[in-house]
Homo-oligomer: A and B are copies of this chain.
Amino acid sequence: MFAESNVAPLSREDVEFNLFQVLKSEHLLQRPEFAHHDQATFNAVLEAAEGLSIEKFQNHYRKSDTFEPTFDGERVTTLAETREAIMSFVEAGFLTAGLDEESGGIRLPFSILQACYAFFQAGNISTTAYLFLTASGSNVIGRFGTRWQKETFMKPMLEGRFLGTMCLSEPQAGSGLADIRTRAVREPDGSYLIRGTKMWISAGEHEMSENIVHLVLARVEGAPKGTRGISLFIVPKYRVNDDGSLGARNDVLLAGLNHKMGWRGITNTVLNFGDNGECQGFLVGEENRGLEYMFVMMNEARISVGTGATVLGVAGYRYSSAYSKTRLQGRLAGQKDPGLPQVPIHLHADVRRMLLTQKAYAEGALALCLYTARLVDDVATDPDPEARERAHLMLELLTPVVKAWPSQFCLEANNLAIQVLGGYGYTRDYPVEQYYRDNRLNPIHEGTNGIMALDLLGRKVGMKAGAAIDDFGERVRADIGVAPQSIQAYANKLGVKLDRLIDMTRSLISDGRSAEYLANASYYANAFGHLTIGWMWLRQASAAENLLIRGEGEGAFLRSKVTAMKFFFDTELDLVENWLSIVPRVQEALLSDVDIV
């Protein structure tokens, strides 16, 4: 029932172009941490990720949407294919590839690993989420847990025997974690009794692993109010005996499955902890530092959300582009003779507009995701301490952007993909409507886009008296300076917008009326995001032009990069100034408490 396509949802050519031609990832090999690799390894793992994704993840993309997990009151049933995909991922070593050799990994750079993960997200975003949650959870335990916790929980997680969850939200506390109510009471043996309800817990119940390891935020009795009184606990579905064997079921009960518009392949649950007073949990690290531990993972989680949004955008673009080359409809403007044959819709100007807009959004976002992922590597391994610090500031600055911009504009790309397919695109016989439904989650989870905008304007651009925004400006200007002559006019246009962005940002930082401006944070975030994507397109187009000048690479691919850059600059970049002009306006309607009827 699903329209077949020979087009892979994510282009390895494009990923490798970004990694090696734009980001020069081969430079990572000069760092001691990665010196045991060579570029052939990088290419090989990317190829392996692509192949496995198509074979084991994409194969049940529609099926996992059609046959949601079910709950009969006792057990949750999921597709066999989902478990098979999870195990194949683990067996291929992708769950541990970023870890040191002593932890069973190969210390793959984060940017390369993130690129591998992008293929799995493109194949099946909800099946991949089981693995991301497990990877994040095991990372938290590995970083902050005790030796016993690592042995008992992290190790089986890395073997895929236990899968993980993150239990932060509650029914009355989603964006506002300061208000979570789940309680923890210390027992004489050092464990804690947990009691409370958690909401939106992905992978919260299923039968695909021997155990489920919940990482749960809760308040210890007497803890300070707000975010400084939150601790982090490991709460297993089944208790674990000292020898590692599984004991009785812990007091964690599935209250119900949430039924979402998309992401239907992964269970999303309401979980009751301690309804019978017997929910055992284990404190991770110290009391009251739970949120801090969780947020250590947050930058990377937000890059993952942005990347997931991006690859759905890319997948829709690639599907609709391929479709447009085979679908015949109408004739070119000016050809009125109905005796002439119909033309592929790829030739209609408005269809080309929709394709190029998708390409500009989705491939621009992909460049940003990989750029940001590379910053994670630079923070960890750049030999120059000052460069590490600069990378850290840039990562902090770009994290809200890489989470929010792709989840907004690649959703719009999916909207256009449907439009290219017309009525067919609106049916469940083609993947583009599922991309659209799946992508709609991304502006919501891991911090809503509204919160990302507040983070960007309210915190990040003002960090260290604007040091991050200054560094941002320097990086963009450096790329403007080295743009090939053939596209210098475009580079200069970007420079004009950049000056305006930096000037306004500086004046906002120094002005005291922050509440007034913060009310317009979303407009600022749009402007910042579009400027950033323009920069990413300049970098891609420069790399492409340089290759074309040298007569290297695949001409059609490279020329399309330049075309998309020009299109984005011609049709979208002026929006930067449009949005910026709104930011300094004091909008009483947003600041008042008058009912909006």
Q: Using CB atoms and an 8 Å cutoff, list the residues of chain A in contact with chain B.
A: 1, 169, 172-176, 178-179, 199-200, 225-227, 258-262, 321, 325, 328-331, 333-334, 337-339, 342, 346-356, 359, 411, 415, 418-419, 422-423, 425-429, 433, 436-437, 440-441, 443-445, 448-450, 453-454, 514-515, 518-523, 556-557, 559-560, 563, 566-567, 570-571, 574-575, 578, 581-582, 585, 587, 589-591, 593-597
A176 in contact with B350 (CB, 8 Å):
no
A225 to B341 CA separation, bound complex (whole angstroms): 12
Contact of A426 with B440 in the complex, beta carbons under 8 Å: yes
Bound-state CA distance A448–B450 (Å) is 32
Partner of A570, one of B225, B258, B351, B587: B587
A351, B592: Cα distance in complex, Å: 12
For A226, give the chain B residue with the smallest CB separation: B338
- In Å, the complex CA distance between A588 and B144 comes to 56
> In the complex, are the beta carbons of B590 and A352 less than 8 A apart?
yes
Selected from B227, B258, B453, B521, the residue in CB contact (under 8 A) with A427 is: B258
CB atoms of B260 and A428 under 8 A apart: yes
Query: In the complex, what residues of B have CB within 8 A of residue A352's CB?
Result: 519, 589-590, 596
CA distance A354 to B520 in the complex (A): 11
- Shortest CB distance A447–B (Å): 11
Q: How far is the CA of A514 from the CA of B338 in the complex (A)?
A: 21
Chain B residue nearest in CB terms to A453 = B350
A174 touches B422 (CB 8 A): yes
Write out the residue numbers on chain B whose beta carbons fall within 8 Å of the beta carbon of A174. Answer: 329, 422-423
CB distance from A452 to the nearest CB of B (A): 10
**In the bound complex, CA of A581 to CA of B573 (Å):** 12
Q: Chain B residues near A349 (CB, 8 Å)?
A: 515, 518-519, 587, 590-591
List 15 A-B residue pairs with CB atoms under 8 Å apart, sorted by A's residue number.
A169-B423, A176-B329, A176-B330, A176-B342, A178-B338, A179-B330, A258-B423, A261-B428, A321-B596, A333-B518, A411-B415, A419-B448, A560-B596, A560-B597, A566-B589
Given known pairs A329-B173, A423-B199, A444-B426, the reply for A567 and B587 (CB within 8 Å) is: yes
Distance A33 CA – B555 CA, assembled complex (angstroms): 68
Is A339 a contact partner of B225 (Cβ separation < 8 A)? Answer: yes
Whether A175 touches B329, Cβ cut-off 8 Å, given contacts A261-B433, A423-B169, A440-B418, is: yes
Q: Which residue of B lies closest to A454 (CB)?
A: B350
The distance from the CB of A311 to the nearest CB of chain B, in whole angstroms, is 17
A449 and B437 alpha carbons, distance in the complex (Å) = 21
Q: Is the CB of A179 within 8 A of B563?
A: no
A596 to B448, CA, bound (A): 33
Given A225-B339, A515-B333, check contact A582 B556 (CB 8 Å): no
Provide the bound-state CA to CA distance between A454 and B261, in Å.
33
Across the A-B interface, give the 10 residue pairs with the lowest CB-CB distance, nearest first.
Answer: A226-B338, A349-B519, A176-B330, A350-B450, A560-B597, A349-B590, A225-B338, A261-B433, A259-B428, A178-B338
Shortest CB-to-CB span from A448 to chain B, Å, is 6
Knowing A426-B260, A440-B426 are in contact, say whether A575-B574 is a contact too (CB < 8 A). Answer: no
